Amino acid sequence: MTTPSEPNQRPELLDIYKLAVEMADRVSARRGTANSFFLSVQTALVTLVGFGIPKLSESPWWVSSAVALAGITLSAAWWMQLRSYRDLNTAKFKVINELEERLPVKIFADEWEALKTDPIPDWRKRYAELGTSERIVPLVFAVAHLILFVGTLTV
């Protein structure tokens, strides 16, 4: 068995790198699936509440409270799950970036650097990470549930 002249060019390093990238991609795919699930459930809940406001306003106060609490709980669970996926991917990309230091090409590091240095349109201050904008959606739903709850109490 021959050993590569450069210790950093061993084939197993590339295999580990490929595995790390694949695992990061799988986490992103799971996050997308979770987002689809929560978005569907939240949309259905808000739609049901929106159409049922006349009935909810005739119901005891605790019915509206329970529905609002369910929606807010879903929003909180969604937000925490997104945060968990972000932390997991941050750790995975830290490992990937460390592996890239030992490879001839730094694909992810170079891509991120290009993204940060590309000119940004005047209408926004900086690159908006998907994770940042993605975590706003559960908060919007939580506010919607609060507004619908107040609306059912005042009707």
Tens digit of pLDDT for each residue in 78-112? 999 999 999 999 999 999 999 999 998 898 888 88
* Closest alpha carbon to 93 in 106, 78, 82, 79: 106
This model's pTM is above 0.95: no
- What is the distance between the alpha carbons of residues 25 and 51, in angstroms, rounded to a whole number? 39
Please check whether residue 96 is in contact with residue 24, taking contact to mean a CB–CB distance below 8 angstroms: yes
Alpha helices in 59-100 (DSSP H): 61-100
Domain ranges of the chain: 10-106+129-154
